[in-house]
Amino acid sequence: LARIAVDAMGGDLAPRSPVAGALLAVGELPPEHTIVLVGRTAVIQEELDRLAAVDPSGAASARDRISIVEAPDVIEMSDRPTTAIRGKPLSSMVVGLKLHAAEKVDAFVSAGNTGAQMASSVFLLKLHHGLTRPAIAAMIPTLRRPVVLVDAGANVDCSAEELVQFARLGSVYAEDILGRPDPAVGLLSNGEEEEKGNSAVKEAHKLLVHAGLNFIGNVEGRDILSAGSARGALDVVVCDGFVGNVLLKFYESVPELIFRMLTAAGVTQDLLTHTFEGFDYSDYGGAPLLGVKGISIISHGSSSPRAVKNAIRVAVRAVESRMNDHIGRRLGHAAVTSV
């Protein structure tokens, strides 16, 4: 049984996308799971009514599994992260995360201001013992199976110790959410040899060898899409959030290039859409903010209803697999063994 709070006011397409995404989710998820939409009640109700008029049966069956919690204020995409907590305590994001901190819900999902969600999540949910920062885990579609990239953008300047923390967090994520036992962890660098890397990466390499993880060494940019180098499988790619952000945004721009060039060459849009189906970002929907004592799922600002629905599914899986307990235990264990 998972109770998921969804920020109904967050994202470029709110409230439409979060509300429609919640309806899609209750249609797909087993009946024990429920959703709390957080935001301006009148606006949310209006959107629910509008959608009920389009699909009366779906809306009726969903009604007793979706509730609303009032939050009169909204954090804008342009607001500074600290504004969220200090300036807008009645915003949908802060109210939603407080519901989670008070254990009224088991997870929080938002397509709103990412910086504000990170800051509020750390402030309200707190970090697990032994961590200095949270990290975003993004899923990268590859030729074989998705690879987890941590950090995808939460931290721009990272120490070697923080890179090791990301490796631990990513490892639990891959195990719990992707069902990969003993996930293979690679450290992104500018060469496979252990002496390659910037100073933080070189130091992290040394620490990772003794971290008790399935560390396969450095991996290069070219190893990601093949989901592994010559040395075998790859489940988790560790990098700082600056590199992670640049790489992910670059990757997201590749489909447009492919589509434009190939449709110009006469390949049909249908064939391309079908072929690259698994590469659609909204298949994954949400990237969890790992390291906080709770489940805070970050969605793209431009999330479609389908993307929000999938973000909710990621949240449910995180709750069901008890990912958060596992992270706490893994970090506690690491702290003990490294003393």
Nearer to its own copies, 187 or 318 (CB): 187
Site mask, its own copies, residues 135-164, x = CB under 8 A?
A: -------xx---------x--xx-------
Footprint (CB under 8 A) of its own copies, residues 187-206: 188-191, 196-199, 201
Pairing of strands 296-299, 286-290: antiparallel
Alpha carbon of residue 58 to chain centroid: 28
Residue pair 168/331 in contact by the 8 Å Cβ criterion = yes
**Residue in 241, 285, 288, 291 binding its own copies, rule: CB under 8 A:** 241
Nearest to 173, CA basis, from 49, 263, 290: 290
Question: What is the spatial distance between Cα 314 and Cα 24, in angstroms, rounded to a whole number?
Answer: 14
Asked if 127 interacts with its own copies (CB under 8 A), we say no
Q: How many CB atoms lie within 10 A of CB 12?
A: 12
Applying CB under 8 A, does 269 fall inside the site for its own copies? no
Residue among 30, 32, 256, 336 that touches its own copies (CB under 8 A) = 256
Site string for its own copies, 220-239 (x = CB under 8 A): xxxxxxx------------x
Amino acid residing at 217: G
Question: Closest approach of Cβ 132 to its own copies, in Å?
Answer: 16
Q: Measured from the CB of residue 197, what is the shortest distance to its own copies in angstroms?
A: 7
Q: Does 336 bind its own copies (CB under 8 A)?
A: no
Q: Is 302 in the site for its own copies (CB under 8 A)?
A: no
Rounded-to-10 torsion of CA 122, 126, 128, 133: 30
Of residues 142 and 321, the one with the C-beta less far from its own copies: 142
Q: Where are the beta strands (DSSP E) in the chain?
A: 3-7, 34-39, 66-70, 107-110, 135-140, 147-150, 184-188, 214-219, 236-238, 286-290, 296-299
Report yes or no: 305 and 54 within 8 Å, Cβ to Cβ.
Answer: no
Nearer to its own copies, 55 or 252 (CB): 252
CB of 264 or CB of 336, closer to its own copies: 264
Least Å distance between CB 83 and its own copies? 14
Which letter does DSSP use for residue 255 in this model? H
**Part in contact with its own copies (CB under 8 A); list of ranges 205-213, 240-248, 284-292, 309-317:** 240-248
When asked if residue 276 is in the footprint of its own copies (CB under 8 A), the reply is: yes
Residue among 72, 261, 269, 325 that touches its own copies (CB under 8 A): 261
Relative to beta strand 286-290, strand 135-140 is antiparallel
Concatenate the DSSP letters of all residues of 100-128 into one string. HHTTSSSEEEE-S-HHHHHHHHHHHH-BP
Tokens coding 80: 């500074």
d(CA 6, CA 17): 11
Q: How far is the CB of 241 from its own copies (least distance, A)?
A: 7
Among 105, 243, 287, 295, binds its own copies (CB under 8 A): 243
Cα distances (Å, whole numbers) of residue 93 to 80, 85, 317: 14, 9, 21
Q: What's the rounded Cα separation, in Å, for the pair 107 and 100?
A: 6
When the beta carbons of 61 and 302 are compared against its own copies, the nearer one is: 302
* Residue ranges in contact with its own copies by CB under 8 A: 142-143, 153, 156-157, 188-191, 196-199, 201, 220-226, 239-243, 245-254, 256-258, 260-262, 264-267, 271, 274-276
